[in-house]
Structure 1
Amino acid sequence: MRSAVHWGVAHGLPTLLLRRAADRGDLQAQLIRVGSLGTDDVFGLVEAIRSRGPIYRSRIGHVATSHAAVRHVLTSDDFRTGLPTSQGPMGRISRWAAPTTLHPVEPPSLLVTEPPDHTRYRRLVTRVFTMRAVERLRERTEEIAADLLDALEPRAGGAVDLVGAYCAQLPVTVIAEVLGVPERDRARVLDFGSAAAPSLDLGLGLRRYRSVSRALAEFDAWLGHHLDHLRRHPGDDLLSQLVAVRDDGAGLSETELKATAGLVLAAGFETTVNLLGNGIALLHDHPDERARVVADPPLWTNVVEEALRLDPPVLLTGRMAVRDTEVAGQPVRAGTMVTAILAGANRDPDVFEDPTRFDVARANAREHIAFSAGRHHCLGAQLARLEGEVGLRAIWRRFPDLRLEPGARRRETRILRGFETLPATLRP
Structure 2
Amino acid sequence: MQRLVKPVVRWGVTHGLPRAALLVAARRGDLQARLFVEGATTPTLRLTGLFDEVRAGGPLSRGAFGYLTASHAVVREVLGGNDFRTGIGPAAGVWGRLAQWSAAEYLHPMAPPSLLVTEPPDHTRYRKLVTRVFTVRAVENLRGRTEEIAHELLDALDPAGPVDLVEAYCGLLPVTVIAEILGVPPAQRQRVLTLGTAAAPSLDMGLPWRRFRRVHTALAAFDRWLGEHLEHLRAQPGDNLLSQLVAAREDGVGLTDLELRATAGLVLAAGFETTVNLLGNGIALLHDNPDQLAALRAEPSRWANAVEEVLRVDPPVLLTGRMSARDTEVAGVPVPAGALVTTILAGANHDPAVFADPDRFDVRRTNAREHIAFSAGRHYCLGAALARMEGEVGLRVLFDRFPNLRLTPGATHRDTRILRGYDRLPALLG
TM-score, length-normalised on structure 1?
Answer: 0.96
- Given candidates 25, 28, 48, the residue that maps to 2:29 is 25
Give how far 1:185 is off: 2.2
- CA contact 1:81–1:114 (8 Å) conserved in 2: yes
- Given candidates 125, 142, 146, the residue that maps to 1:120 is 125
Alpha-carbon RMSD:
1.5
Question: What residue identity is the alignment partner of 1:234?
Answer: P
- CA contact 2:175–2:189 (8 Å) conserved in 1: no
Question: What residue number does 1:59 align with?
Answer: 64
How many angstroms apart in 2 are the aligned matches of 1:226 and 1:323?
A: 41
- Are residue 148 (structure 1) and residue 148 (structure 2) matched? no
- Given candidates 91, 98, 112, the residue that maps to 2:96 is 91
- CA contact 1:101–1:216 (8 Å) conserved in 2: yes
Give how far 1:184 is off: 2.9
- Aligned residue for 1:177, secondary structure, equals helix
- CA contact 1:275–1:312 (8 Å) conserved in 2: yes
Question: What residue number does 2:265 align with?
Answer: 262
Give how far 1:84 is off: 5.7
Give how far 1:87 is off: 4.9
Question: What residue number does 1:276 align with?
Answer: 279
- Given candidates 393, 396, 411, the residue that maps to 2:396 is 393
How many angstroms apart in 1 are the aligned matches of 2:298 and 2:290?
A: 12
Give how far 1:336 is off: 0.8
Give how far 1:85 is off: 5.7
User: In the TM superposition, what are the counterparts of 1:23-422 in structure 2 within 5 Å?
Assistant: 23-39=27-43, 40-83=45-88, 86-87=91-92, 89-152=94-157, 154=158, 156-422=159-425
Query: Per the alignment, do residues 306 and 87 of structure 1 end up closer, same or farther by CA in structure 2, a change over 3 Å counting?
Result: farther
- Are residue 11 (structure 1) and residue 30 (structure 2) matched? no
How many angstroms apart in 2 are the aligned matches of 1:10 and 1:271?
A: 24
Q: Deviations over 1:137-194 (max 9, x none)?
A: 2122111111111111x2x233221111111111111121122012332232222222
- CA contact 2:87–2:110 (8 Å) conserved in 1: no
- CA contact 2:108–2:219 (8 Å) conserved in 1: yes
- CA contact 1:163–1:273 (8 Å) conserved in 2: yes
How many angstroms apart in 1 are the aligned matches of 2:302 and 2:93?
A: 51
How many angstroms apart in 2 are the aligned matches of 1:394 and 1:2?
A: 48
- Aligned residue for 1:371, secondary structure, equals coil
TM-score, length-normalised on structure 2?
Answer: 0.95
Moved more, 371-380 or 191-200: 191-200
Query: Per the alignment, do residues 217 and 34 of structure 1 end up closer, same or farther by CA in structure 2, a change over 3 Å counting?
Result: same
Q: Deviations over 1:234-255 (max 9, x none)?
A: 1111100100100111101111
Unaligned 5+ runs, structure 2: none
- Paired positions, count: 425
- CA contact 2:411–2:426 (8 Å) conserved in 1: yes
- Aligned residue for 1:63, secondary structure, equals strand
Question: What residue identity is the alignment partner of 2:23?
Answer: R
- Aligned residue for 1:83, secondary structure, equals coil
Give how far 1:382 is off: 1.0
How many angstroms apart in 2 are the aligned matches of 1:132 and 1:92?
A: 47
Give how far 1:135 is off: 1.5
Give how far 1:91 is off: 3.4
Moved more, 108-117 or 9-18: 9-18
- CA contact 1:9–1:85 (8 Å) conserved in 2: no
Query: Per the alignment, do residues 87 and 265 of structure 1 end up closer, same or farther by CA in structure 2, a change over 3 Å counting?
Result: farther
How many angstroms apart in 2 are the aligned matches of 1:87 and 1:137?
A: 47
Give how far 1:88 is off: 5.0
How many angstroms apart in 1 are the aligned matches of 2:93 and 2:174?
A: 39
- CA contact 1:305–1:366 (8 Å) conserved in 2: yes
Moved more, 203-212 or 251-260: 203-212
How many angstroms apart in 1 are the aligned matches of 2:317 and 2:222?
A: 24
- CA contact 1:278–1:311 (8 Å) conserved in 2: yes
Give how far 1:86 is off: 4.2
Query: Per the alignment, do residues 297 and 95 of structure 1 end up closer, same or farther by CA in structure 2, a change over 3 Å counting?
Result: farther
Give how far 1:89 is off: 4.2
